[in-house]
């Protein structure tokens, strides 16, 4: 049969955003693919060159609309490296708690979007229900539902409100039980297993060489997590264990492994949140005023030419990195150059190549299992 190119996207349910996957097919089989990105390139890196260091944070929130808190934190750590800011320990704990709540919300968004790809619409409604609990918690901290602008260079904007810790504990414990319900529904569903198992194999070594990171490589048995390898917040003080899946085939991880590793990661996030609340200095039911030295240290606002800042951060989809050069604006108030490394920008071209050899019907399962987000890809 003659081979032909078909175009999936930019408007296609498989894409989870705006991008184009061009697929060359031989009958039903994929023989070649090509990814086209850049549909929502906003020029964030250029915009940041004319903003001062505090003003950059909201732009970083908007890099990815499902995990704004982790992206803002990622930028803040780079800015703190550049400006040599000290952070109070309580603020580090609050950042950890908020980042892990965001990770739960983000993975729930992923699972909720992945379910309909596979044909399980119930999953979407369940995930949206539970994600709302965590968005409510983040709203208590940042004041808005999705884009929080919450961390500050040298601390956080405001302390946890009174009663926040109790609500976190109640919701996290409820959610741990609901995770079991999810697994009962999914792991015993024939459709779910048939669509995911044995589909979309990705080899660990190839993935690392290609720059894939985060849950996607941990699904293939690579125990690499920035949170233990280059600990940045207080991750070395709380009890946790990176979620690593053992691959069931020599060919590497399939879609099912990538689903499993994220479920396990959600469990780990829950226990991290509970442990961090117990260990937080100053107590979980105290509320310090904004700007108190327990949650905020005043940081310098200018960085000299030649200074650089770098952060390596475990975002919800992999390692997000920021690299900043100081000395912009002639007086050092702005970044001279701010560079963003998005895990998905590297992953999507790799995923496009892993589809070769599978059927067209497998494309949504493979693509969805890698959790694409185009906001951070195109920047």
Partner 1 sequence: MGTSITQEQNASAATACLEAINARFEGTGITASVEHHSNAKKYAFVRMTCPPQHWIALAKWMRHDLGVNYCSMVTGTHFPDGPDERGWEVAYHFLRQPIQDQTPNTHHVIVAEELTGMDIPMEFEVFMPLAQGDSPSVPSIQSIWIGADWNEKETWDLVGIRFEGHENMHRVLNPHDSPEGFHPLQKQHKLRYHDHNEMYDDAQGFMRKPADEGRVK
Contact residues for partner 1 (CB under 8 A)? 37-38, 41, 43, 45-47, 49-50, 77-78, 80-81, 84-85, 87, 204-206, 208-213, 221-224, 227-233, 235-242, 244, 246-250, 308-312, 319, 321, 323, 325, 336-337, 339, 341, 345-346, 349-350, 378-379
Structure token digits, residue 334: 């702005």
CB of 92 to partner 1, least distance (A): 8
- Helices 68-83/89-118 angle, 10° precision: 140
Q: Which residues are CB-contacts of 360 (< 8 A; sequence separation ≥ 6)?
A: 23, 25, 28, 29, 30
Q: Cβ of residue 81: shortest distance to partner 1, in angstroms?
A: 4
Q: Is 12 helix (H, G, I), strand (E, B) or coil?
A: coil
The residue (of 51 and 171) whose beta carbon lies closer to partner 1 is 51
Provide the phi-psi class of 273: left if phi over 0, else alpha when psi is between -120 and 50, else beta.
Answer: alpha
CB of 316 to partner 1, least distance (A): 17
Q: Which is nearer to partner 1, 75 or 114 (CB)?
A: 75
To which H or E segment does residue 17 belong?
none
Residue closest to 218 by CA, chosen among 314, 313, 123: 314
- CB nearer to partner 1: give 98 or 120: 98
CB 130 within 8 A of CB 105: no
Runs of H (alpha helix) within 219-373: 226-229, 255-279, 343-354, 363-369
Give me the least distance between CB of 327 and partner 1, in Å please. 10
Residue 184 beta carbon to partner 1: minimum distance, rounded to whole angstroms? 24
CB nearer to partner 1: give 111 or 212. Answer: 212
Question: Could you tell me which of 129, 137, 45 has the C-alpha nearest to residue 99?
Answer: 137
Nearer to partner 1, 181 or 241 (CB): 241
Tokens in use for 215?
């849950």
Alpha-helical runs (H) found in 84-197: 89-118, 121-142, 164-187, 190-196
If the CB atoms of residues 47 and 169 are measured against partner 1, the closer one turns out to be: 47
- Minimum distance of partner 1 from residue 336's CB (angstroms): 7
Distance CA 344, CA 349 (A): 9
Enumerate the β-bridge partners of residue 55: none
Shortest Cβ distance from residue 38 to partner 1 (Å)?
4
Token output for 341? 């490394």
Query: Closest distance between partner 1 and the C-beta of residue 349, in Å?
Result: 5
Q: Which is nearer to partner 1, 189 or 248 (CB)?
A: 248
Pick 116 or 221: Cβ nearer partner 1: 221
């Amino acid at each position: 049969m003659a081979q032909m190119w078909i175009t999936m996207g930019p408007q296609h349910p498989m894409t989870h955003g705006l991008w184009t996957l061009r697929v060359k097919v031989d009958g039903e089989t994929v023989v070649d693919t090509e990814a086209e990105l850049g549909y929502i390139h906003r020029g964030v890196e250029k915009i940041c060159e004319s903003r001062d260091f505090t003003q950059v944070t909201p732009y970083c929130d908007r890099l990815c609309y499902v995990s704004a808190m982790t992206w803002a934190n990622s930028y803040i750590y780079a800015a703190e490296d550049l400006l040599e800011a000290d952070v109070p320990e309580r603020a580090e704990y609050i950042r950890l708690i908020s980042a892990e709540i965001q990770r739960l919300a983000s993975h729930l968004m992923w699972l909720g979007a992945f379910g309909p790809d596979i044909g399980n619409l119930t999953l979407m409604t369940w995930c949206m229900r539970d994600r709302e609990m965590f968005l409510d918690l983040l709203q208590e901290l940042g004041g808005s539902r999705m884009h929080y602008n919450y961390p500050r260079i040298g601390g956080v904007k405001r302390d946890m409100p009174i009663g926040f810790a109790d609500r976190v504990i109640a919701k996290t414990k409820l959610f741990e039980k609901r995770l079991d319900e999810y697994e009962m529904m999914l792991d015993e569903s024939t459709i779910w297993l048939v669509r995911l198992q044995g589909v979309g194999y990705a080899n660990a070594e190839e993935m690392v060489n290609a720059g894939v990171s985060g849950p996607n490589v941990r699904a293939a048995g690579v125990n690499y997590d920035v949170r233990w390898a280059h600990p940045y917040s207080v991750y070395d003080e709380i009890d946790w264990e990176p979620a690593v899946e053992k691959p069931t085939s020599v060919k590497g991880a399939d879609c099912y492994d990538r689903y499993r590793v994220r479920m396990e990661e959600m469990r780990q996030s829950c226990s991290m949140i509970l442990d961090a609340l117990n260990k937080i200095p100053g107590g979980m039911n105290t509320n310090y005023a904004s700007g108190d030295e327990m949650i905020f240290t005043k940081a310098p606002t200018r960085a000299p030419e030649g200074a650089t800042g770098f952060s390596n951060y475990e975002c919800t989809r992999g390692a997000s990195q920021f690299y900043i050069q100081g000395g912009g604006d002639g007086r050092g108030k702005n970044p001279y150059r701010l560079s963003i490394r998005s895990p998905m920008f590297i992953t999507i071209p790799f995923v496009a190549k892993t589809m070769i050899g599978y059927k067209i019907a497998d494309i949504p399962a493979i693509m969805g299992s890698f959790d694409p987000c185009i906001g951070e890809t195109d920047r």
